[in-house]
Structure 1
Amino acid sequence: MRQSEAAPAKLNLALHVRRRRPDGYHELETLFAFVADGDVVAVDEGEALSLTIEGPMADGLSATDNLVLSAARRLATSASIAPRARLTLTKNLPVASGIGGGSADAAAALRLLNHFWGLDYSLGRLAELAEPLGADVPACVYSRTMWGGGKGETLVPADVAGLNDMPVLLVNPMVPLATGPVFAAWDGVDRGPLDSRPAIDDLVRARNDLQSGAISLCPPIADVLTALAACGGALLSRMSGSGATCFALFESEAALRLAHDDLAAREPGWWLLPTRVKIA
């Protein structure tokens, strides 16, 4: 019988880059949040491990060289079992877009196969297994609001007053943006730490230190940010991760819907996702 697991989109509500580490990663301070919508990973019984990719954003994705398969193999190896499963990834999120699509898919595969194979691993153990798969994958295993440190693997649950269930609009200009060049474009200036316990008002004064570099590589990001900042009822607008997806938090569902309908009419080439911040 088919089982499925949601792979919700990730947001970096703030992302402060502190330094470049000797291992090539960057020391970060970030506040991860997740929304109610995203990709979906499903599994059926199979004699071997396989992956099928479908959905509106499936074009160009490899079903043989994919982080979902890497996650499945890593989990099976840890449990000393043969990786038998027919996986299906429904790809709804844009690729290379700063909202953790591939990382969320890998994390969802870990959670799904943990149950499907009867392993009963804790989320903490799955997050440890996820670390070599990518900097965002451990946070995506938990898929809840978390403080992230180190390269993103040092995680502490966070509770930001008023954030849960808040309306949010995700907007992407449909220009893929690779993570490596964006980090390379960071100017190397440490602009200070992220407040350890901010409210929504404090987050407005926080930053995404990759935003300027991303805009230099992908100027349409600036157009998206300008459009979001001008929306009525928008409390905070910012780029997520290394871009090119940006988001705005809204004071009400009505304000979100008005903003979505206006931008959809004015910018038909942009990808828009009206959704809500999820609890866990």
Structure 2
Amino acid sequence: MAAEVAAPAKINLTLHVTGRREDGYHLLDSLVVFADTGDRLQLEPGPELSLEVFGLFATGVPADARNLVWKAAEGAGWTGHISLDKQLPHGAGIGGGSSDAAAVLRTLEGQGAGVPADLPLNLGADVPVCMAARASRMQGIGEQVTPVELPELHALLVNPGAHVPTGPVFSALASRNNPPMPQDIPAFTSGEDCAAWLAEQRNDLEGPAIALAPEIERVLSDLRSSRQALLARMSGSGATCFALYPTKKAAHMAAYEIGAAYPEWWCSAVTLT
């Protein structure tokens, strides 16, 4: 049966790097939400596995076994044609490839396919939380995913077009043993309350990413100075940054103003859940 599925953008509201295991994997503590924008996929069963990539950010995305979408389908033993409409910038810290792979696995699970339990994490640290596709706390090397209740958040996502490889960002960390988030996440009554608490947390990869791509600091500066911005931070390993606003209207106004000032930047006003 053919299926069409959304692969929402993943946003790290926080990203604390709390250690590194002997095998080199970093330990994380991250509050993750998902946007109402993202890629779209269509799956059509067939005798052979094939992948077509098109859309705004299709350039440079492999349409073969190097793609996480292909690896997800292959790992689940599924064959057929997958069409991937790439609307999110890749290598951007918003889990594009991981969310795409998770969307494939969720679809196949829904159709009764046997997805190996270890497959999501084997595909990448972000894939398990992208399988949940809802506000969650991600810990360990990505294998611990705990749902959390957050208020609806209005945000603007901005990417200046910089591709920041994850490996060099982690390598540039000054410390790999940093404090985690508090054990308990409060019950927030509003987006403003949530933003105030988030301001006390961190993205430990923000500094190293800025050192590699200084334009990230320009994005953060513009977001922080936009009207009614509650908080601005980088997501994941960059280069996408976000700002939170008290209303959807404020987020859209900031998108208009920043988009007009920097037409070459990718800007998207979103709701995060």
Report TM bin, short chain. Answer: over 0.9
- Deviations along 1:133-167, whole A, 9 cap, x unmatched? 0000000001011111111221111113x2x2x21
Note closer, same or farther for the CA distance 1:127–1:98 as it changes in structure 2 (3 Å cut). farther
Contact 2:206 2:237 in 1 (8 A): yes
Q: Which residue of the partner structure matches residue 205 of structure 1?
A: 200
Confirm whether residue 174 of structure 1 aligns to residue 161 of structure 2.
yes
1:90 to 62, 66, 85: 85
Cα offset, 1:2, TM superposition: 3.4
Partner of 1:268, secondary structure, is coil
**Which consecutive residues of structure 1, in runs of 5 or more, have no partner in the other structure?**
77-82
Cα offset, 1:41, TM superposition: 1.2
Contact 1:5 1:111 in 2 (8 A): no
Distance between the aligned counterparts of 1:126 and 1:207, measured in 2?
Answer: 34
Confirm whether residue 44 of structure 1 aligns to residue 34 of structure 2.
no
Partner of 1:256, secondary structure, is helix
Confirm whether residue 62 of structure 1 aligns to residue 62 of structure 2.
yes
Contact 1:239 1:246 in 2 (8 A): yes
Q: Which residue of the partner structure matches residue 79 of structure 1?
A: none
Question: What code does the residue aligned with 2:211 have?
Answer: S
TM-score (norm 2): 0.92
Distance between the aligned counterparts of 1:132 and 1:84, measured in 2?
Answer: 20
2:177 to 186, 190, 194: 190
Q: Runs of at least 4 residues of structure 1 off by over 6 A?
A: none
Q: Which residue of the partner structure matches residue 26 of structure 1?
A: 26
Q: Which residue of the partner structure matches residue 149 of structure 2?
A: 159
Distance between the aligned counterparts of 1:189 and 1:62, measured in 2?
Answer: 32
Partner of 1:257, secondary structure, is helix
Cα offset, 1:129, TM superposition: 2.5
Q: Which residue of the partner structure matches residue 254 of structure 1?
A: 249
Note closer, same or farther for the CA distance 1:169–1:126 as it changes in structure 2 (3 Å cut). farther
Partner of 1:131, secondary structure, is helix
Question: What code does the residue aligned with 2:163 have?
Answer: P
Question: What code does the residue aligned with 1:235 have?
Answer: L
Question: What code does the residue aligned with 2:62 have?
Answer: S
Confirm whether residue 141 of structure 1 aligns to residue 131 of structure 2.
yes
1:242 to 218, 231, 237: 237
Distance between the aligned counterparts of 2:131 and 2:208, measured in 1?
Answer: 28
Cα offset, 1:230, TM superposition: 0.8
Contact 1:127 1:138 in 2 (8 A): no
2:215 to 220, 223, 230: 220
Confirm whether residue 150 of structure 1 aligns to residue 131 of structure 2.
no
Contact 1:30 1:152 in 2 (8 A): no
Contact 1:127 1:139 in 2 (8 A): no
Q: Percent identity?
A: 43
Partner of 1:140, secondary structure, is helix
Cα offset, 1:236, TM superposition: 1.6
Contact 1:111 1:126 in 2 (8 A): no
Contact 2:121 2:143 in 1 (8 A): yes
Distance between the aligned counterparts of 2:252 and 2:116, measured in 1?
Answer: 37
Distance between the aligned counterparts of 1:189 and 1:22, measured in 2?
Answer: 12
Cα offset, 1:192, TM superposition: 1.7
Question: What code does the residue aligned with 1:186 have?
Answer: L
Distance between the aligned counterparts of 1:88 and 1:249, measured in 2?
Answer: 32
Distance between the aligned counterparts of 2:170 and 2:219, measured in 1?
Answer: 20
- Deviations along 1:91-132, whole A, 9 cap, x unmatched? 00001000000000000011122334x33x6xxx77642010
Confirm whether residue 265 of structure 1 aligns to residue 260 of structure 2.
yes
Partner of 2:58, secondary structure, is coil
Q: Which residue of the partner structure matches residue 73 of structure 1?
A: 74
Distance between the aligned counterparts of 2:165 and 2:101, measured in 1?
Answer: 18
Cα offset, 1:25, TM superposition: 1.2
Distance between the aligned counterparts of 1:207 and 1:127, measured in 2?
Answer: 31
Q: What's the Cα RMSD here?
A: 1.5
Question: What code does the residue aligned with 2:138 have?
Answer: G
